Structure 1
Amino acid sequence: MTRHLHPRIAPRRSTARATTWWGKAWVRAVEESAFAHEDLAGARKLARSGRVGQIAVEEGGYYAAVEDEGGMVTVAGVLPVLDADGRATLVEVVAAEAGRIAALMSGELPHLLVEHADEAGVELLPYGGELGSACTCDAWADPCRHALAVLYQLAWLVEVDPFVLLHLRGLAREELLARLHEREQVPPEHADGDLESALDAALRAARLLELLDDPDSRVDHLL
């Protein structure tokens, strides 16, 4: 399992709302998961305050410490991961169109990539009910405002780097790049077959040239 610890996000004065279409989709899921508008308002304030610690992301989960008036609490969240077939399908979707991996590397999430993945049965962007969480605070709501604050900050991370979303879904950057590299390689058995075919063609061509140089040879059937 690959775990990545993201740098702590400094305090922000603005509302710091999502600006990309995929960031807005993430925020919509966060707000769908909340029980009350008051929880969201408190979470946004907490997320902007700089009191959320570094967020650790791994396949299917995230963790962070959050400080508030009552002290320090720990948030642990989950997001369903793609199964083996889903991960394989996602690799094929990324590889299906030139420029998609370059877009991801530059911090973009192509809309058609997500759309085609969805058509293939692979959902990347979450909905509210998928954002499970637990917190060491004593709030009855799930998610509590601490978990919502971490989820808001995750939206900012996902906006800057869509690989964070793929990582949460079970396909870390390193694994995706490795699978794409393997996909581009010619399997050894195919490479051997190609070599044998090329060698056979060369031998046939050489034999044909020999026959053409012999005036007594009948080569009409070979032309």
Structure 2
Amino acid sequence: MTHARAASSRGGRTTGWWAKAWLRAVEEAAYGEADLRRGRSLARSGRVGAVTVDGGSFVAAVEEGDDAHTVSGTVEVWDDVAAATLVEIVAARSGRVTELLAGELPLSLVEDAEEAGVELVPYAGELDATCTCQAWLDPCPHALAVLVVLSVLLDRDPLVLFHLRGLDREQLLARLHARTVSAPPGPDAVEGDDEGDLDVGLDAVLRAQRLLELVARGDTAADHLF
């Protein structure tokens, strides 16, 4: 998924604790304060282009003077067991899906994930980024600029972090939906329990996404849904 320029519109500032945690990792990954200041300046002045995020990787162009450099980086992805565990953790408490889709990452979710051995926010040593400027140290200021911009993207949408870890938004919703559809209700299940709430919430999200797609296309088939 490609994300348009982000940091210049907000000055590169973050408010979510998870984005601040990412920034702390970026600061620790920098080899010196001068490189970090230069990277922040490039990010906040809008010199970082659109950032393309995929499972385990990201890439973006950074302009400086008359030159343009390409930064590419990697983040460790979850294996199948970790991804499945994370899905179970998201589904374990009612309201977590709604919070994630609303741009919030519940601290309790991260705590539960860490307790289960699943790490969300990477440490400094896990942020691997290289640049075509051929600096003798990585991450160079251009790479740091991209990492700063990523903090803004994460701040706006914590599911970008999930995507970097190998579980994008569509995959997460699909797994949660499949989980609630395939799992039969237990003998003690009652109306309004967490499983039911999750299923109803996911159904509403999927319907809303479909409606937005129809409206965006100007499809008259959406009229009866109002």
Q: Same fold (TM over 0.5)?
A: yes
Percentage of matched positions with identical amino acids: 55
Matched, 1:7 2:40: no
Q: How many residues align?
A: 186
Q: Distance in 2 between matches of 1:48 and 1:13?
A: 8
Q: How many Å apart are 1:18 and its aligned residue?
A: 2.2
RMSD between aligned residues: 1.7
Amino acid at match of 2:104: E
**Which one of 164, 169, 174 corresponds to residue 173 of structure 1?**
169
Q: Distance in 2 between matches of 1:65 and 1:156?
A: 16
Residue 127 of structure 2 is matched in structure 1 by 131
Q: How many Å apart are 1:69 and its aligned residue?
A: 2.0
Alignment of 1:80-91 (within 5 A): 80-91=76-87
Which ranges in structure 2 are unaligned for 5 or more consecutive residues?
Answer: 188-226
Q: Distance in 2 between matches of 1:88 and 1:12?
A: 36
Alignment of 1:88-107 (within 5 A): 88-107=84-103
Amino acid at match of 1:48: R
Q: Which has the larger radius of gyration?
A: 1
Contact in 2 for aligned 1:43/1:145 (Cα 8 Å): yes
Alignment of 1:26-65 (within 5 A): 26-65=22-61
Contact in 1 for aligned 2:6/2:153 (Cα 8 Å): no
| Secondary structure, counterpart of 2:8 in structure 1 | coil
Residue 212 of structure 1 is matched in structure 2 by none
Spell out, residue by residue over 1:170-221, the C-alpha distance to the aligned partner (whole angstroms, 9 max, x if none): 100000000000000135xx69xx9xxxxxxxxxxxxxxxxxxxxxxxxxxx
Q: Distance in 2 between matches of 1:66 and 1:185?
A: 45
Contact in 1 for aligned 2:86/2:113 (Cα 8 Å): yes
Alignment of 1:205-216 (within 5 A): none
Q: Distance in 2 between matches of 1:175 and 1:11?
A: 30
Change (3 A) 1:60 1:13: closer
Residue 199 of structure 1 is matched in structure 2 by none
Residue 221 of structure 1 is matched in structure 2 by none
Displaced runs of 4 or more, over 4 A: none
Residue 112 of structure 2 is matched in structure 1 by 116
| Secondary structure, counterpart of 1:56 in structure 2 | strand
Q: Distance in 1 between matches of 2:157 and 2:59?
A: 18
| Secondary structure, counterpart of 2:58 in structure 1 | strand
Q: Distance in 1 between matches of 2:136 and 2:66?
A: 15
Q: How many Å apart are 1:10 and its aligned residue?
A: 6.2
Change (3 A) 1:99 1:176: same
Alignment of 1:133-148 (within 5 A): 133-148=129-144
Question: What TM-score comes out, normalization by structure 1 length?
Answer: 0.80
Residue 76 of structure 1 is matched in structure 2 by 72
Contact in 1 for aligned 2:7/2:149 (Cα 8 Å): no
Matched, 1:157 2:153: yes
Change (3 A) 1:107 1:168: same
